[in-house]
Structure 1
Amino acid sequence: MAVNVFDGWDYAIMAATMAASIIIGVYFRFSGGKQKTNEEYLLADRNQSILPVAVSLMASFMSAITLLGVSSENYYYGMQFVAINISHLLATPIACYLYLPVFFRLQKTSTYEYLELRFGPRIRMLASLTYTLQMVLYNGIVLYAPAIVLESVTGLDRLISILVVGLVCTFYSTLGGMKAVLFTDLLQSLLMFGAVFIIIIFSAIQLGGFEKIFTIAQEGGRLNFNNFSLDPTERHTWWSLLIGGAITYLSLYAVNQTQVQRLMTVSTLERSQKCLWWSWPVLFTLGVSTCTSGLGMYAVYRDCDPLLDQKISSIDQLMPYYVVDAMRGVSGLAGLFVAGIFSASLSTISAACNALAAVTLTDYVGRWCTVRPSYMPWLTKLAACAYGLFFLALAFLAEYLGGVLQAALTIFGAVGGPLLGVFTLGMFTTYATELGASIGLVTGMMMTLWMSFGGPRPPLTKLPLSTEGCAHNGTLWEFTQSNPDDYFYLYRVSYMWTSPFGFVWVVVVGSAVSALWRQQQPWERAGRPHPDPALFTPPLAARLRERARGDKVDIQSELLMYNGVKNSKNSI
């Protein structure tokens, strides 16, 4: 499906969107201090307002993947997935009050500097390399997603679409620092909401009322919120979405470099926590709106599914197909829709390039080389450019990963869960050692990657679809599930359980190895009797401070008693 519905107004809107993002990047590049330091380029001088940071937190990962993936998810599999938004609310206070204070007290550029302070240099390097793998794979998909849209509504070949999006993203992410990223996210987030609202409004007009969307969705079995099964092989249930969604959220918003770096751009911990709290309603609104857009498209195509009718070749093309089909007669709307998809990916790619550049200069170059401070900003921009070009190369492989939504969540589950486990071992225990954390991370990654990509998985079973209303003679399609016994059990486990599995594996294995093979902790190697409370989550840090004060009082009491006995002997 590649039909050019763009006219002059559509191209003008697209060009204006790209120009606005670039202008903002140029403005922050040459205004003020002109990014003379890495502190300004990577952390925006730590003096930003709450609103742009809160919106930017949402835009980081909820980009074109959200718009394309969630809408098609609700169309073909029902609205059960919307429950994941509740898991985000449950996980937000955990990220705010248990993880974030640790990073904010340390004020480090890279989150993986924490791991060296808590464990040692080896686990820091291992974790930063793991994060780099995670972000490179994810952003290849992010770059691929808008290429689907451009191919669908402009008629451009997918190869050209990927090149257009990739090169513009690379140029912008190299040019703009964190200030540019934050403020362009405001514009780009508005365009994301605009793209979703266009779908909802047009489908409601076609159906004759907004309420018809939910009436028809109910008749088609799309309002399926009642799956409370404990079976881990069922793709989406309340338990898998709440638990898996919470662990995935924490792996992104509690310890991920991209998000923590943004949370560090404000002046105080309280303001940073407010940013995280305010990002949830923005994220929730976008999630529910995108789910509703999927139901709206289902209500329109309930009698003639475009996938079965061979109008599209994958479910990720559903939303752009609707734009082509419904809006070809309205000048400018297709351009606004594509601008929303494009802008969403632009913000994600630029943030990823910025974060990966920070990790590269701090965790790799800074450890192995001595670089003059005046060269650091230029090396950081060079690293950001290199990552953008690398994302471009990987985007051509993304089409082999299946649906973009499941592919993205699978990658984050396979990598994010084990990484969250390592940080949790460090912040919530005093017994975990570098050896235990390292073995836990490596084996946990091996297990989750094996579960995710180790073998054939059962085909997904869609809800009933129909082609009865198509131009040719159609029928109602009932999909039957294949025999699950034909597949290895771990390959049948829902991708939503991958992240909790990796998290629990790292915590359990890391604890066991730490208990079996005793290893000196960093504070013991430094000759200090107690660990630094700043390295631990606030409840544990408070207990450590109490213990240190108690030991200090005991020592002072012993000294007073010793001095008293000594003085009495001298007097005798």
Structure 2
Amino acid sequence: MEPNFDRWDFAVLITILLISAMIGIYYRYTGGKQKTIKEYLLADQSMTTFPVAVSLMASFMSSITLLGVSSESYQFGTMFCIINIAYIISTPIAAYLFLPVFYRMRTLSVYEYLERRFGHSTRLAASLAYSVQMILYMGIVLYAPALALEAVTGVSKTTAILVIGLLCTFYSTIGGLKAVLITDVFQSLLMFAAIFAVIVVSAIKAGGLAPIWQEAEKRDRFYFTDFSLDPTERHTWWSLIIGGMVTYLSLYGINQVQVQRLLSVRNLESAQSALWWNLPILSTLSFSTLFSGLAIFHYYRNCDPLLEGRIQSRDQLMPLFAVDTMGQYPGLCGLFVSGIFSASLSTVSSAVSSLSTVTLEDYIKPLYKRITNNPLHEARSTLPSKIMAAIYGLVCIGMAFTAGSMGGVLQASLTIFGIIGGPLLALFTLGLCTTRSNQRGVLIGLLIGLIFSFIIGFGGPKPLPTMLDFKADGCVAAINSTLVAEAFTQTDNIALNITTQLLATDEAKVDYFWIYRLSYLWLSVIGFLITLVAGYGLSLLLEALKLADNKQIYLDNQLIDGDLFIPPLARRLGGSQIEEMTKL
């Protein structure tokens, strides 16, 4: 494709990126100037509900959502919207069962809970798994806007990754959580502006919203009724709701990024309100982005840009649409791309902050205390945290260069969360909801769950997903069928796409191992169930064999803190009867 991104667009993009960076600089030199860990990592616990609610959405639903979800409805239809039901079901679980436990502890690292509940080894194992998860995810987040920039400007992915990554690292390191939360609000407005700009422009060109709906129905994009029990089908009600619940709870219930945000407000009620306000914001973005994919499909209904050879991946569809339809308005296309970039800035800064927090609390402080026999002083904790933030930012840049081999950005991100998020959710569930789980049992269960998840998630070969129909007969080059054939022959990307389509239609003839045919949405569920069953079963077995570490039940001949359990169980235990402790 030929990019149509002029100097006005570049001026808008650079200006908006500088605004994000300046917010970080502002909070570096105002207030407490990020001198204390509480201010740097918890925003001095002074934030209000609204910015935290917006930030909860922006932390994970950023460029992945804008590019991936629109591409999802363009290629596979609207079935993915059913996942919003999982969000509705899971929000009260996260708000009223998980969050009160972490809020009472008021700890910087969510994994300190695991040390209090099971022991130090469990804390280290979980924080290590979390670090791997977030580093992999950050690679996808950096890769997605770089892909968009390449599509609309001609700037290489390498240059874009370096520019975005270094800017993220800079303002993440100096601004602290308060800067991140405030920029999230600004950047979220740009995200919604980008999505609604796509819908409005498409509706104007289509003559209203009705033609978009009609074309979607005609070409089988408008689809919500797959109730199949077949676990190998990519999206069904059951995979989206059950898999979506596990993924949501692993993100909003026990993930360091989100819990750290929820702890930045003044009280538990405000934190719970932030979770509830996050729900409509998240769903609005989800539905509008899905519809934007249908709007883009209507515009390219007779000439798919990938078949035409204008793009290398359908994750580039939205920015290409912006260039094709908004390029005649100076700066408008730049504003659109800024929405994608700003969202990634927010997400990367959030993850970098949480990774530095985990490293400081779970590794540096315990090591320092072991070496010196003294705790690391609060005044000396901020500098190591900032250094780690910078290091993690550079690591994420390195991971972005491998993200292109992971497939579509939406499926790749959900796969990463499922592989590690499911087992981690099971680990916390064993601690929060059972009393007989012990450290040795849950550690072995976590290891088994992670091994199975990685084998299923990254093993193969896997069948290619079956896409809906695309047309190229409306392309300009299609005036002469001979020219079309020659163009396809001369373009490597088109040849690869034709091969992909042929393989997809011949799918039934290939005998894939059944475990690799499972929908990616079941990865989190399988990891969760394997870890939960193995961890609890092994805990009971080790206890029966007198091999369990009983400090998980007793601490100085007293019951462990009842506040380490979900509120219904904590009220039932009452912290008084050992017999009650051993009933579960």
Report the AA paired with residue 397 of structure 2.
Answer: L
Number of residues paired by the alignment?
550
C-alpha displacement of 1:526: 2.4
C-alpha displacement of 1:317: 1.1
Which is further off, 309-318 or 376-385? 309-318
Q: Structure 1 residues 233, 523: CA separation in 2 closer, same or farther (over 3 Å shift)?
A: closer
Aligned 1:98-113 pairs, distance under 5 A: 98-113=97-112
- Looking at structure 1, the residues matched to 219 and 331 of structure 2 have their Cα atoms a distance apart, in angstroms, of 32
- Looking at structure 2, the residues matched to 513 and 127 of structure 1 have their Cα atoms a distance apart, in angstroms, of 18
Q: Based on CA coordinates, which of the two structures has the bigger radius of gyration? A: 1
Which of 497, 515, 520 is the equivalent residue of 2:549?
A: 520
- Looking at structure 1, the residues matched to 176 and 228 of structure 2 have their Cα atoms a distance apart, in angstroms, of 46
Identity of matched residues, %: 52
Match of 1:422 in 2: 427
Q: Does 1:541 align with 2:573?
A: no
Aligned 1:194-205 pairs, distance under 5 A: 194-205=193-204
Aligned 1:368-383 pairs, distance under 5 A: 368-370=367-369, 371-383=376-388
Structure 1 residues 131-186: Cα deviation after superposition (integer angstroms, max 9, x where no partner): 00000000011001000111111111111111111111111111110000000000
2:67–2:318 CA contact under 8 A, matched in 1: yes
- Looking at structure 1, the residues matched to 17 and 459 of structure 2 have their Cα atoms a distance apart, in angstroms, of 40
C-alpha displacement of 1:460: 1.2
Match of 2:519 in 1: 494
2:40–2:178 CA contact under 8 A, matched in 1: yes
2:559–2:575 CA contact under 8 A, matched in 1: no
- Looking at structure 2, the residues matched to 76 and 530 of structure 1 have their Cα atoms a distance apart, in angstroms, of 55
Which is further off, 466-475 or 378-387? 466-475
- Looking at structure 2, the residues matched to 353 and 153 of structure 1 have their Cα atoms a distance apart, in angstroms, of 28
- Looking at structure 1, the residues matched to 404 and 307 of structure 2 have their Cα atoms a distance apart, in angstroms, of 20
1:440–1:505 CA contact under 8 A, matched in 2: yes
Match of 2:56 in 1: 57
2:435–2:553 CA contact under 8 A, matched in 1: no
- Looking at structure 2, the residues matched to 255 and 408 of structure 1 have their Cα atoms a distance apart, in angstroms, of 18
Structure 1 residues 447-475: Cα deviation after superposition (integer angstroms, max 9, x where no partner): 01100101111011111111121221479
Structure 1 residues 173-206: Cα deviation after superposition (integer angstroms, max 9, x where no partner): 1111000000000000000011111111111111
Q: Does 1:189 align with 2:188?
A: yes
2:561–2:575 CA contact under 8 A, matched in 1: no
C-alpha displacement of 1:485: 5.2
Q: Does 1:242 align with 2:241?
A: yes
Structure 1 residues 8-30: Cα deviation after superposition (integer angstroms, max 9, x where no partner): 32122112211211111111111
Structure 1 residues 535-556: Cα deviation after superposition (integer angstroms, max 9, x where no partner): 00001000111754999xxxxx
Match of 1:566 in 2: none
Structure 1 residues 358-398: Cα deviation after superposition (integer angstroms, max 9, x where no partner): 00000000111144433211111110010001100110000
- Gapped regions of structure 2 (runs ≥ 5): 370-375, 486-497
- Looking at structure 2, the residues matched to 233 and 382 of structure 1 have their Cα atoms a distance apart, in angstroms, of 45
Match of 1:562 in 2: none
2:101–2:565 CA contact under 8 A, matched in 1: yes
Aligned 1:444-483 pairs, distance under 5 A: 444-471=449-476, 472=478, 473=481, 480=505, 482-483=507-508
Q: Does 1:154 align with 2:183?
A: no
- Looking at structure 2, the residues matched to 337 and 32 of structure 1 have their Cα atoms a distance apart, in angstroms, of 33
Secondary structure of 2:3's counterpart equals coil
Q: Structure 1 residues 459, 337: CA separation in 2 closer, same or farther (over 3 Å shift)?
A: same
2:5–2:323 CA contact under 8 A, matched in 1: no
Secondary structure of 2:34's counterpart equals coil
Report the AA paired with residue 284 of structure 1.
Answer: S
Match of 1:264 in 2: 263
- Looking at structure 2, the residues matched to 313 and 22 of structure 1 have their Cα atoms a distance apart, in angstroms, of 31
1:83–1:242 CA contact under 8 A, matched in 2: yes
1:119–1:433 CA contact under 8 A, matched in 2: yes
Report the AA paired with residue 394 of structure 1.
Answer: M
Aligned 1:434-449 pairs, distance under 5 A: 434-449=439-454
The normalised TM-score by structure 1 is: 0.94
- Looking at structure 1, the residues matched to 312 and 579 of structure 2 have their Cα atoms a distance apart, in angstroms, of 68
- Looking at structure 1, the residues matched to 34 and 368 of structure 2 have their Cα atoms a distance apart, in angstroms, of 22
Aligned 1:246-395 pairs, distance under 5 A: 246-370=245-369, 371-395=376-400
- Looking at structure 1, the residues matched to 251 and 13 of structure 2 have their Cα atoms a distance apart, in angstroms, of 30
2:301–2:470 CA contact under 8 A, matched in 1: yes
Q: Does 1:511 align with 2:540?
A: no
- Looking at structure 2, the residues matched to 154 and 381 of structure 1 have their Cα atoms a distance apart, in angstroms, of 33
- Gapped regions of structure 1 (runs ≥ 5): 552-572
1:117–1:522 CA contact under 8 A, matched in 2: no
C-alpha displacement of 1:524: 4.6
Which is further off, 368-377 or 337-346? 368-377
- Looking at structure 2, the residues matched to 215 and 141 of structure 1 have their Cα atoms a distance apart, in angstroms, of 34
C-alpha displacement of 1:481: 5.1
- Looking at structure 2, the residues matched to 436 and 282 of structure 1 have their Cα atoms a distance apart, in angstroms, of 39
Report the AA paired with residue 528 of structure 1.
Answer: N
Structure 1 residues 495-517: Cα deviation after superposition (integer angstroms, max 9, x where no partner): 00000111111110011100110
Which is further off, 485-494 or 226-235? 485-494
- Looking at structure 1, the residues matched to 511 and 518 of structure 2 have their Cα atoms a distance apart, in angstroms, of 13
- Looking at structure 1, the residues matched to 275 and 259 of structure 2 have their Cα atoms a distance apart, in angstroms, of 10
C-alpha displacement of 1:319: 1.0
Structure 1 residues 47-104: Cα deviation after superposition (integer angstroms, max 9, x where no partner): 2100000000000000101000000000010100011111111100010011101101
Report the AA paired with residue 266 of structure 1.
Answer: V
Q: Structure 1 residues 484, 183: CA separation in 2 closer, same or farther (over 3 Å shift)?
A: farther
Match of 1:91 in 2: 90
Secondary structure of 1:506's counterpart equals helix
- Looking at structure 2, the residues matched to 322 and 38 of structure 1 have their Cα atoms a distance apart, in angstroms, of 44
C-alpha displacement of 1:480: 2.2
Which of 561, 565, 579 is the equivalent residue of 1:532?
A: 561
1:58–1:279 CA contact under 8 A, matched in 2: yes
Match of 1:569 in 2: none
Match of 1:18 in 2: 17
Secondary structure of 1:416's counterpart equals helix
- Looking at structure 1, the residues matched to 571 and 509 of structure 2 have their Cα atoms a distance apart, in angstroms, of 50
- Looking at structure 2, the residues matched to 283 and 327 of structure 1 have their Cα atoms a distance apart, in angstroms, of 26
Report the AA paired with residue 9 of structure 1.
Answer: W
- Looking at structure 2, the residues matched to 533 and 481 of structure 1 have their Cα atoms a distance apart, in angstroms, of 57
2:554–2:560 CA contact under 8 A, matched in 1: no
1:41–1:179 CA contact under 8 A, matched in 2: yes
Report the AA paired with residue 512 of structure 1.
Answer: G
- Looking at structure 2, the residues matched to 438 and 29 of structure 1 have their Cα atoms a distance apart, in angstroms, of 40
- Looking at structure 1, the residues matched to 307 and 234 of structure 2 have their Cα atoms a distance apart, in angstroms, of 22
C-alpha displacement of 1:5: 1.8
- Looking at structure 1, the residues matched to 221 and 378 of structure 2 have their Cα atoms a distance apart, in angstroms, of 57
- Looking at structure 2, the residues matched to 190 and 373 of structure 1 have their Cα atoms a distance apart, in angstroms, of 36
- Looking at structure 1, the residues matched to 27 and 124 of structure 2 have their Cα atoms a distance apart, in angstroms, of 32
- Looking at structure 1, the residues matched to 342 and 330 of structure 2 have their Cα atoms a distance apart, in angstroms, of 20
Q: Structure 1 residues 484, 527: CA separation in 2 closer, same or farther (over 3 Å shift)?
A: farther
C-alpha displacement of 1:294: 0.1
1:75–1:297 CA contact under 8 A, matched in 2: yes
Match of 1:222 in 2: 221
Report the AA paired with residue 200 of structure 2.
Answer: I
2:445–2:530 CA contact under 8 A, matched in 1: yes
Aligned 1:114-133 pairs, distance under 5 A: 114-133=113-132
- Looking at structure 1, the residues matched to 136 and 552 of structure 2 have their Cα atoms a distance apart, in angstroms, of 36
